[in-house]
Amino acid sequence: MNNYQTSLRDIDFVLYELLDYESHCAQIAQSTLDRELVNAFLAEAARFAEKEIAPLNSIGDLQGCQLMAGQVTTPKGFKEAYLNYCAAGWPGLMRQVQYGGQGLPQSLGLVISEVIGTPNWAWGMYSSLSQGAMYTLEMHGTSEQKSQYLPHLISGDWTGTMCLTEAHAGSDLGLLRTKAVPQRDGSYKISGNKIFISAGDHDFARNIIHIVLARLPDAPEGTKGISLFVVPKMLSDAQGQVTEPNGVSCISLEHKMGIHGNATCSMHFDEAQGWLLGDLHKGLPHMFTFMNLARLGSALQGLAHAEVGYQKARDYARERLQMRSLSGVKNPKGEADPIMVHPDVRRMLLTQKALLEGQRMLIYYASQKLDISAQIDNDEASQVASQILGVLTPIAKAFSTEAGFESANLALQCFGGHGYIRDWGLEQNLRDCRIATLYEGTTGIQALDLLGRKLLGDGGQALTLLTDEIELFCQQSEDLLHLNAHITQLAKLNQEWQELTAEIAQKARQNPDEVGAAAVDFLMYSGYVLLAYLWARGRKIAYAKLEHGHIDSKFYKAKLATADFYFARILPRTQALSEAIRSGADNLMSLPDEYF
Amino acid sequence: MNNYQTSLRDIDFVLYELLDYESHCAQIAQSTLDRELVNAFLAEAARFAEKEIAPLNSIGDLQGCQLMAGQVTTPKGFKEAYLNYCAAGWPGLMRQVQYGGQGLPQSLGLVISEVIGTPNWAWGMYSSLSQGAMYTLEMHGTSEQKSQYLPHLISGDWTGTMCLTEAHAGSDLGLLRTKAVPQRDGSYKISGNKIFISAGDHDFARNIIHIVLARLPDAPEGTKGISLFVVPKMLSDAQGQVTEPNGVSCISLEHKMGIHGNATCSMHFDEAQGWLLGDLHKGLPHMFTFMNLARLGSALQGLAHAEVGYQKARDYARERLQMRSLSGVKNPKGEADPIMVHPDVRRMLLTQKALLEGQRMLIYYASQKLDISAQIDNDEASQVASQILGVLTPIAKAFSTEAGFESANLALQCFGGHGYIRDWGLEQNLRDCRIATLYEGTTGIQALDLLGRKLLGDGGQALTLLTDEIELFCQQSEDLLHLNAHITQLAKLNQEWQELTAEIAQKARQNPDEVGAAAVDFLMYSGYVLLAYLWARGRKIAYAKLEHGHIDSKFYKAKLATADFYFARILPRTQALSEAIRSGADNLMSLPDEYF
């Protein structure tokens, strides 16, 4: 029952037709990365994902990970697939050239992690965590640290993790207690317990490099006293040979709703030797290097489960025969019509399709800003991109994971009772998906970041960069009759988006709780507006291709229909959200705690 | 981690303050059933649920059911709890007096099944299925059949099931193939395979009475050739003693996403002896006796998981310390404030509270119509109630299960990452809940029943019964200043509800797919309007109690605040729905199948 196919056609559409990836690559000095080369990478990643990774998805769920005698064993086949992944050179694709990487842009790295991770997210997380650890080392490590760790991580011989959460410190990292005691040799003794550490231990690699948040004994309280450390599972000598175990152990595995194939570890650090990464007491901002990338990664997870669910649901809807179409028999030779004829099944499928293709546009769009923001040779463009990315990241993360869950849920619904049983994989897909709105900052945390920090924090400047871009697009599309209704709708919402922001800012001056009261609804509203913008752009392109008699007319006609569906049936949700936002904080705050 | 408590206070509010259950009981000739007696039943049911059933919920999930040598074993403790349930006389409460029952109304039976099932729905389903089987026997059995089966079912010594679904015939029962071949002695040989049979086999009881849909060899095709049969697992003699096995066996158990404690069986009927129940070829309408009751039962399941999730999330929100309130420190002695101070946590909790208390009002309201519709001594009132019930049943089933899933999901979200791990029970609650929008007719099937059959089928007459009632309430509340804004909103939606129905009817004349295209959004719209009506009624009562200085002021103040929240932040969803409904069928039907 595994007919999963990578959506290479849609990926190509978003990269090249919507976002002009060739110009983008030239802009970020990657002009050698032409379309042919990118497509070769993607085709190979797709082959690997479909043939080697997808078949392990169900095994991973059924077997899960085991902890025995302090060592985690991953499900059958996971390790072999990882070794093949490394042998093919995937871990180093985006990494710095001087340490053995190929120096390709993050935007491409994200697409490749989507392609490889989609059919089996639990497996994909092992390498994603490594990517994050390498990226953090690249950004904040000394050249000595880079030389020591990066070659092993790039070869895949070692992997990496991020260790943030403690049992009492989840969203509130300021409360964390893990200690780092300075030693005479310049290293630190790290002691404490971390929970929810994805890929915290496993049987893939000789060594695991933990990036750990901890606090010096005399550090300031709260988030301003947190530093970042690199703490390997195994110590190594100057030649990079593993010598002896460090004081790091996995003491238990969490029993989770899903992603069973990924080891979620409780880690114990017992005077483990660690080294400061970056500046003292700057652990939190440093960690956000990692975190922001991880948030776009989680956004891709929302897309991944939507994609897997949609493909299964669509195929099932074509094959499953139940009842006749109300508008006349469509399959006279069969005992019933395929359920695809029923309008409500189409509503569910189109909701998935409109959301997931929209999610892809949004995340790729954000990933280009990530590339530009990382450029140091163009300060102004980089700063602007960075501001926009700051707005897009929490939206992409929270909106895409919420939308992904909605889609995965609708995909299951398309199967009726069969969706609830293990055989078809829909229930695993929904369980695996469910984590995405929780980790790397919950939807509520993303929403506060967006509204409180990114929008109200700078007086609305960052938002204006986006709304100006949308306004310009609307102006440039004014004379397109076929897009008229959509542009009118989009321009109105773009205007309302700014008004809502201003209204909340106004109210927040009287009552800071107004921000939290509006935050999640506002984030979702923002996501729908951005998808409307991107769908309008996508529709404009598809229409032009059809007008010029493009050969791939099915694809473009589907884009037109899906865009129209989005504007007609999804976008009206903004009305419910704007009304909820405008209702203010009182209806949330007036009830005393004990009356709940 | 199991502090579950039955919501007796809210149940009492809905039964007696909102719905005047005393007058209702008098009206259906149950005047002996006074408030004190009802409360005694409910208190005892609550005690049993909290002490004996709730502790088995997590065990049920972890152990699941096992099939060995053709016999199903239920999780540890399930059977003992069932025997205690029978010893206390619960199975016969609503059943006919002449067969050993106590003849209490169905409305009370539903409340009791809510109370007993809420903390462990998988366990509760065993007895619910029996109730449905007994009800069907009461309605359609001969007096011989009743005498033969009911006493054993009422004592709980035997249990019952319903066997509808076949692998290729889920929503489309017309396709079913199970054969019933007439025998000389008046019985039938039943042969075929049924899937998804809840409580199809288990170790609770000496015998299991299957109510089976099958088809005679010469029967008309489709739904008009289906008959209903009673097929016991064990044959019995004239004295009701079990003699020998019938040709009925459980051949496998489904591996499901949740409700692991309930055995979902694939049943094989191999020339099993069965007897016709009711009239030949009237199996489907007869089965709807069972089905309509089961749909209200499933509606309660949506409420149940919402209730369990809400209680856990509320308690956690009071205890979990993370971050400070934006409007100033609330818990200066702690290292952080309880997360209940954060507006978004309150938004999630109030959403659950507003929906679940609304679901309860809606289901109880429907259950009173069920009582009246079952009365035969008042033809007109009974017919009116029956019409209203026809409209309310699909709404209650689909809306409450969808809302229940939303609530269970938000409850998990309140726990952050901790919601995703097994320990807190939130992930089980979400998995268990997920089945409810699928079985007993999916949300899509309910929506077609509502719009296609119940509303457009009778030219809108049944809807008018409801909208008139709402209009009358609005008129009667006109002079209540405190309710003014709500009444305005409600009256407007009540009007729009009728307009939407008329518009769809109009469009459906041109294109029958317009019904399916609007159906689910229309059903959800209807649910929100009905909840608005019931919340307005509830708020009016609570306000009056507070005005008269009622002692239980916390409860009534919470009602006021929750009603206000509902109108401000949930009800606006109707705008998104009405716009989607009005967008028509074209945006769903225009895309050719192969373009998806």
Average pLDDT rounded to a whole number, residues B89-105: 95
Enter the DSSP assignment of A92.
Answer: G
Q: What is the 3-state secondary structure (H, E, C) of A458-508?
A: CCCHHHHHHHHHHHHHHHHCCCCHHHHHHHHHHHHHHHHHHHHHHHHHHHH
- Residues of B with a catalytic annotation lie at 440
Is the confidence at residue B1, as pLDDT, over 70? no
- The position carrying tokens 């129905």 is B501
What is the spatial distance between Cα B293 and Cα B95, in angstroms, rounded to a whole number? Answer: 14
- pLDDT of B268-322, one tens digit each? 999 999 999 999 999 999 998 888 889 999 999 999 999 999 999 999 999 999 9
In sequence order, the β-bridge partners of residue A268 are A193, A249
Give A447's contacts in chain B (Cβ within 8 Å).
Answer: 344
Tokens at A450, concatenated? 């967006």
Tens-digit pLDDT profile for residues B193-227: 999 999 999 999 999 999 999 999 999 999 999 99
For B98-141, the DSSP string reads GGT-----HHHHHHHHHHHHTT-HHHHHHHHHHHHHHHHHHHH-
Confidence (pLDDT) at B375: 84
Nearest-angstrom CA–CA distance, B73 and B69: 10
Residues of B in contact with A587 (CB under 8 A): 350, 561, 564-565, 568-569
Determine the average pLDDT of the residues in A300-319.
98
Backbone dihedral region for residue A271 (phi beyond 0: left; psi -120 to 50: alpha; all else: beta): left
Query: B584: which 2 tokens?
Result: 């028509």
pLDDT digits (tens, 9 = 90+) for A130-176: 999 999 999 999 999 999 999 999 999 999 999 999 999 999 999 99
Under 8 Å between Cβ of A414 and A317:
yes
What local confidence, expressed as pLDDT, does residue B528 receive? 98
Q: Enumerate the residues of chain A whose CB falls inside 8 A of the CB of residue B257.
A: 420-422, 427, 430-431
CB-nearest partner of A437 from B342, B413, B422 = B413
Contact yes or no for A515 and B353 at CB 8 A: no
Q: Which whole number is the average pLDDT over A173-186?
A: 96
| Sequence-separated (6 or more) residues with CB below 8 Å from residue A94 | A101, A102, A103, A104, A105, A106, A108, A109, A131
Cα–Cα distance measured from residue B573 to residue B524, given in angstroms and rounded to the nearest whole number: 9
CB-CB neighbours of A379 under 10 Å: 9
**Residue from the list A325, A421, A587 with its beta carbon closest to the beta carbon of B254:** A421
Measured between alpha carbons, how far is A328 from A341 in angstroms, rounded to an integer? Answer: 10
Residue A2's pLDDT is 64
Q: Is the model's pTM score more than 0.95?
A: yes
**Which residue of chain B comes nearest to A312, CA vs CA?**
B596
Q: In whole angstroms, what is the distance from residue A409 CA to residue A356 CA?
A: 13
List Cβ neighbours of B106 (8 Å cut-off, separation of 6 or more): B94, B135, B293, B367, B370, B371, B374
pLDDT of residue A379: 86
pLDDT at site A525: 98
DSSP state of A191: E
Q: Which residues of B touch A422 (CB under 8 A)?
A: 254-257
C-alpha distance from B564 to closest chain A C-alpha (Å): 7
Query: Cβ separation of A171 and B323 shorter than 8 Å?
Result: yes
Task: Name the closest residue on chain B to residue A347, using Cα atoms.
Answer: B588
* pLDDT value, residue A328: 92
SS3 of residue A425 by DSSP: coil
Q: Is B73 exposed, middle or buried (0-12, 13-18, 19+ CB in 10 A)?
A: middle
Under 8 Å between Cβ of B229 and B149: no
Chain A partners within 8 Å of B515 (Cβ):
326, 343
- Give me the phi and psi of B257, to 5 degrees please: -65, -35
Sequence-distant (6+) residues with CB within 8 A of B171 are A322, A323, A416, B441, B442, B444, B445
Test B344 with A447 for CB contact under 8 angstroms. yes
Beta-bridge partner residues of B39? none
Q: Which is it for strands B158-163 and B207-215: parallel, antiparallel or unpaired?
A: parallel
User: Which residues of chain A have a CB within 8 Å of the CB of B336?
Assistant: 172, 175
Is B170 in contact with A417 (Cβ distance < 8 A)?
yes
Neighbours of A101 (CB within 10 A): 20
In the three-class reduction of DSSP (H, G, I as helix; E, B as strand; rest coil), residue A137 is classed as helix
Q: How confident is the model at residue A377 (pLDDT cuts 50, 70, 90)?
A: confident
How is residue B293 written in tokens?
């009751």
Residues B381-400, mean pLDDT to the nearest whole number = 96
Chain pair A-B, CB pairs under 8 angstroms: 264
Query: Which chain A residue's Cα is nearest to B579?
Result: A572
CB contact under 8 A, A565 and B554: no
**Chain B positions in Cβ-Cβ contact with residue A171 (cut-off 8 Å):** 322-323, 416
Enumerate the active-site residues of A.
440
Short-list A60, A63, A52, A45, CA closest to A7: A45
Task: For residues B380-405, give the mean pLDDT.
Answer: 96
CB contact under 8 A, A575 and B580: no
Q: How far is B340 from chain A (nearest CA, A)?
A: 7
Cβ contact B572–A579 (<8 Å) = yes
Band (pLDDT 50/70/90 cuts) for residue A31 is confident
DSSP letter assigned to residue B256 = B
Residue of B nearest to A256 (CA): B421
Nearest partner of B393 among B373, B413, B420, judged by Cα: B373
b/e map of B434-469 (b: 16 or more CB within 10 Å)? bbbbbbbbbbbbbbbbbbbebbbeeeeebbbebbee
Does the distance separating the beta carbons of A345 and B175 come in below 8 Å? Answer: no
Interface predicted TM-score of the whole assembly (ipTM), two decimals: 0.97
User: With contacts defined as CB-CB under 8 Å, which chain A residues touch B511?
Assistant: 327
Distance CA A365, CA A351 (A): 21
Q: Do B438 and A423 touch (CB under 8 A)?
A: no
Report how far apart, in Å, the C-alpha atoms of A544 and of each of A44, A530, B38 are.
30, 21, 69
Comparing alpha-carbon positions, the chain A residue that sits nearest to B351 is A588
Q: Kindly report, residue by residue over A213-237, the tens digit of the pLDDT.
A: 999 999 999 999 999 999 999 999 9
B596·A349 Cβ contact <8 A: yes
What percentage of chain B exceeds 90 in pLDDT?
93
**Burial class of residue A237 (count of CB atoms within 10 Å of its CB; 0-12, 13-18, 19+):** exposed
End-to-end CA distance of chain A: 46
User: Cα(first)–Cα(last) distance of chain B, in Å?
Assistant: 46
Q: How far is A512 from chain B, CA to nearest CA, in Å?
A: 5
Chain A residues with beta carbon closer than 8 angstroms to that of B353: 596
Query: What's B592's DSSP letter?
Result: -
Q: Which two tokens stand for residue A116?
A: 């490889």
Q: Sorting pLDDT into bands at 50, 70 and 90, what band is B2?
A: low
| Cα angle A264, A267, A268; round to 5 | 165
What is the predicted pLDDT for the residue at B457?
Answer: 85
Say if strands A158-163 and A248-253 run parallel, antiparallel, or are unpaired.
unpaired
Looking at residue B18, its pLDDT comes to 98
- Check CB contact under 8 Å for B344 and A438: no
Our CA-based measurement puts residue A36 at a distance from the nearest CA of chain B, in whole angstroms, of 26
What is the Cα–Cα distance from B138 to B132, expressed in whole angstroms?
10
CA distance B573 to chain A (A): 5
Element (H, E) at A576: helix A573-582
Using CB atoms, pick whichever of A170, A258, A417 lies closest to residue B416.
Answer: A170
Q: How does pLDDT run across B18-77, given as a tens digit for each residue?
A: 999 999 999 897 778 999 999 999 999 999 999 999 999 999 999 999 999 999 999 999
Residue A591 to residue B517, Cβ atoms within 8 A: no
With bands split at pLDDT 50, 70 and 90, how would you rate the model's confidence at A550? confident
Q: Which tens digit of pLDDT belongs to each residue from B438-492?
A: 999 999 999 999 999 999 988 889 999 999 999 999 999 999 999 999 999 999 9
pLDDT at A558: 98
Helix (H, G, I), strand (E, B) or coil at B250: strand
Calculate helix-pair angle for A513-547, A379-414, nearest 10 degrees.
90
- Of A100, A111, A105, give the one whose Cα is nearest residue A147: A100
Of A269, A107, A113, the residue nearest A194 (C-alpha): A269
| Closest chain A C-alpha to B327 CA, distance in angstroms | 5
DSSP code of residue B388: H
Contact across the interface for A557 and B591, Cβ inside 8 Å: yes
Backbone angles phi, psi at A103, to 5 degrees: 65, 25
3-state secondary structure B284-351: HHHHHHHHHHHHHHHHHHHHHHHHHHHHHHHHHHHHCECCCCCCCCCCCCCCCCEHHHCHHHHHHHHH
Give the pLDDT score at A359. 98
What one-character-per-residue DSSP string does A23-43 give? Answer: HHHHHTT-TT--HHHHHHHHH
Q: Across residues B555-577, what is the average pLDDT?
A: 98
| CA-wise closest residue to B247 among B230, B231, B267, B270 | B270
Task: Quote the pLDDT of residue A354.
Answer: 98
Q: Exposure pattern of B256-293 as b/e (b: 16+ CB <10 Å)? A: bbbbbbbbbbbbbbeebbbbbbbeebbbbebbebbbbb
Using CB atoms, pick whichever of A175, A447, A569 lies closest to residue B580: A569
Any residues with CB less than 8 A from the CB of A226 and at least 6 apart, and which? A173, A174, A176, A213, A214, A215, A219, A281, A283, A284
* Amino acid identity for residue B501 in this structure: T
Average pLDDT, rounded, for chain B: 96
Burial class (CB in 10 A: 0-12, 13-18, 19+), B476: exposed
A590: nearest CA partner in chain B: B561
According to DSSP, residue B74 is labeled P
**Cβ density class A184-197: b for 16+ within 10 Å, e for less:** eeebbbbbbebbbb
**Does residue A532 register a pLDDT over 90?**
yes
